[in-house]
Amino acid sequence: MIGLSHSFGGDAITITIEWQDQFGRWHHYQSMQNQADAYRVAQRLAESTGKRHRLVDEDGRFLDLINS
C-alpha cells in the first residue's frame, strides 16, 4: 500500500517505572515491554507504598503519573 510507513510487530518500546522519594528525586524501579502491564504494576505499587510512581519511555519522555 502506498503511504504506509509504520511497521507493525517491530520494535517494542521499553517502559520504565520510577518512584519518587520524600526529597522529590526519582528512582528506577523496573523496566517492562508492555505499557498496560507497567501501568498496572505502578498503580499497585503506588497504592501499597503510598509513593508517587511514573512511567517514562526509553528516551526519558514522561508517559503517566500514578498517585496513591
Does this model's pTM top 0.85? no
Q: How far is CA 14 from the centre of its chain?
A: 8
User: pLDDT value at position 56?
Assistant: 98
48 vs 25: CA distance, rounded Å: 19
Give phi and psi for 29, each to the nearest 5.
-110, -55
Computed from CA positions of residues 36, 38, 39, 40, in that sequence, does the dihedral angle turn out positive or negative? positive
CB 16 within 8 A of CB 30: yes
Q: What is the mean pLDDT of residues 15-31?
A: 98
Average pLDDT, the chain: 89
Q: What is the mean pLDDT of residues 20-37?
A: 97
